[in-house]
Amino acid sequence: MTAGEHDGGLILDSYLLRSLAVAGWSPSFEVCARCSEPGPHRAFSVQSGGMVCTECRPPGSAAPAPATVVLLGALLSGDWSVADSSEQRHRREASGLIAAFLQWHLERGLRSLPLVDRTISADNVWMGA
């Protein structure tokens, strides 16, 4: 992070997704989270565990942009070339889905998450001695 190679928000979102995966709550982005039907799918269901097909889609599911779903997969797998080339609007959408997914599995709101600075600038990077 101190090298400034990647956006701070992307690093945070990747960390959150990977932490969830290590805890056993890895979201599904390529197959339906409920029936394993191969994707791509258009709906994201927090309570179902990720992307869901039209047959399994519960009411209230989000419909992220296809580029956002690609970004989510890249953040989970650590594909930084894809993540770094993503557009800001897809980053915002992905961050919202990740926050919702995290808080669903924690079974509580994470009040500090909106306060996290998601940017890295020369002013807030510690360079060490």
Q: What are 23-71's pLDDT values in tens digits?
A: 999 999 999 999 999 989 999 999 999 999 999 999 999 999 999 999 9
Of the listed ranges 75-84, 90-99, 110-119, the least confidently predicted one is: 110-119
DSSP letters for 16-28: HHHHHHHTT-PPB
Residues 33-71: b if buried by 16+ CB within 10 A, e if exposed: bbeeeebebbbbbbebbbbbbeebbeeebeebeeebbbb
Q: How many CB atoms lie within 10 A of CB 2?
A: 9
pTM flag (> 0.85): no
- The residue among 82 and 126 whose pLDDT is bigger is 82
Residue-level length of the chain: 129
Orientation angle between helical segments 88-106 and 8-22, nearest 10 degrees: 30
